[in-house]
A = this chain, B = another copy of it.
Amino acid sequence: MTNLIAMGKAASVASRKLATLTTDQKNAALLAIAAELEAQAEAVLAQNALDIADGRDHNLSDGLLDRLLLTAGRIAGLAADARRVATLPDPVGSEFDARLLPNGLRLSRRRIPFGVVGVIYEARPNVTIDIATLCLKTGNASILRGGKETRRSNKALVAVIQAALEKVGLPPTAVQTIDDPDRKLVIDLLRLDEYVDVIIPRGGHTLHQVCKENSTVPVITGGIGICHIFVDESADLDKALAIVENAKVQRPSVCNALDTVLVHPAVAAEFLPQMAARLAPLGVELRPTGAAWDILKRDGRGANLVPAGPDDFDTEWMALILGVKVCELDEAIDHIHAHSMAHSDSILTNDWQNAMRFVNEVNSSAVFVNASTRFNDGGQFGLGAEVAVSTQKLHARGPMGLEELTTYKWVCIGDGHIRP
């Protein structure tokens, strides 16, 4: 039986050790994990094969099975990822806002690990290595709970990590996985505030709702986006077509993909038919409303036209579907405030004042001018890694890299100072 309290205690003890490691020691652990992954690839693949067989029995889609699947090549990729994390800069221990107070107290803020990070994530075994290595690099212990479809694979991968940790003299409990599929354990993890410092849920709306409703541990929510592009009157329409296509089509199943395009009335009659013609052969279904419907219906080139339903502008499509609406800038900003999940929103314009208004008045985690929403990503923003994309206001926003896996403490050095 899974004893979550014992796991929490062990993680908490391990986190004290991790917090005092040098970057070299943490990197040695990451390299040991890479080596161990290669050495134990066969054992991991055998467990993964059992997960895959189960998945087939449960009629998982080909897409899901592909996400589950590990191969020798993919394991080599995971080892390479672990080695790459070792090359990233370590934020822990750096000090900022250092100052000498008027009374002679020397004050600074020093970056430290959170302590224990709980991560609840989808059925993707690569995320197990990803999260565990990023947490280790930042001196955090982690308690992982992956999708039940990858239970055996995750157990095998964490066994590999723990073996590597032992080889470099670190507590194996620095990385633990909850391999009991009982869903009640998710709730128990969310209430383990005595030992867990932060919960990062990766997944859909339901998981986030469960976290919000049940967690007594602070949660970083995100990874859900209803993303907008506003095509202004002065936009370069050729560039706009390319950006809308990129944002919608390049990878429709991710959170920074485009969901709704808003088009200024002055260019709608010109732009929308071109957009429909460009997106139709790519298999995109359009969901226009009002004037957008009239223009597209009249034009007749947009292969797949469905009138927008009442919830369509509040739907994260994750598919080749695109809401379409004609409106001016004021209404576009209001629309985004009403329907956005504060993820990624972009204005395409050549009008300075409109660009500034959009940037100033839209408070999504990332706001873009003349660029695709697909750039809201840790790798694209140069953070070197991405744990999640936060859409809440507390702590981190947008892509969370290594620095966002840390907190800080004030360090205050005196010489017998008492408060007057």
- Interface residues of A, Cβ cutoff 8 Å to B: 16, 19-20, 99, 101, 105, 107, 112, 114-115, 193, 197-198, 212-213, 216, 218-220, 236, 239, 242-243, 245-247, 250, 337, 359-361, 363-372, 374-376, 380-382, 392-395, 397-398, 407-419
What's the nearest-Cβ distance from chain B to residue A395, in Å?
4
**Residues in B whose Cβ lies below 8 Å from that of A114:** 393-394
Contact (Cβ within 8 A) B414 A369: yes
What's the nearest-Cβ distance from chain B to residue A228, in Å?
14
**Which residue of chain B has the shortest Cβ distance to A221 in the bound complex?**
B218
Contact (Cβ within 8 A) A394 B407: yes
Q: With the chains together, A216 CA to B375 CA distance in Å?
A: 30
The answer to whether residues A419 and B367 also contact, given A20-B360, A198-B394 and a CB cut-off of 8 A, is: no
**Which residue of chain B has the shortest Cβ distance to A112 in the bound complex?**
B363
- Each complex incorporates copies of this chain amounting to 2
What's the nearest-Cβ distance from chain B to residue A339, in Å?
13
Contact of A366 among B236, B243, B412, B415 (CB under 8 A): B412
Going nearest first, the 6 A-B pairs with the smallest beta carbon separation are: A371-B414, A239-B416, A246-B418, A366-B410, A374-B419, A371-B417
Contact of A417 among B107, B212, B370 (CB under 8 A): B370
**Residues in B whose Cβ lies below 8 Å from that of A239:** 415-416
Contact of A381 among B213, B247, B410, B418 (CB under 8 A): B410
Contact (Cβ within 8 A) B412 A371: yes
Q: With the chains together, A219 CA to B359 CA distance in Å?
A: 27
What's the nearest-Cβ distance from chain B to residue A415, in Å?
5
Q: With the chains together, A410 CA to B20 CA distance in Å?
A: 32
**Which residue of chain B has the shortest Cβ distance to A15 in the bound complex?**
B363
Contact of A365 among B16, B105, B409 (CB under 8 A): B409
Contact (Cβ within 8 A) A20 B101: no
Q: With the chains together, A376 CA to B361 CA distance in Å?
A: 36
**Residues in B whose Cβ lies below 8 Å from that of A101:** 380-382
Q: With the chains together, A367 CA to B413 CA distance in Å?
A: 8
**Residues in B whose Cβ lies below 8 Å from that of A363:** 19, 112, 115, 409
A sample of 13 cross-chain residue pairs with beta-carbon separation below 8 angstroms, ordered by A number, consists of A16-B337, A16-B361, A19-B363, A107-B381, A193-B212, A218-B219, A239-B415, A243-B417, A371-B413, A371-B415, A371-B417, A374-B419, A397-B408
Contact (Cβ within 8 A) A367 B99: no
Contact (Cβ within 8 A) A218 B371: no
**Which residue of chain B has the shortest Cβ distance to A418 in the bound complex?**
B246
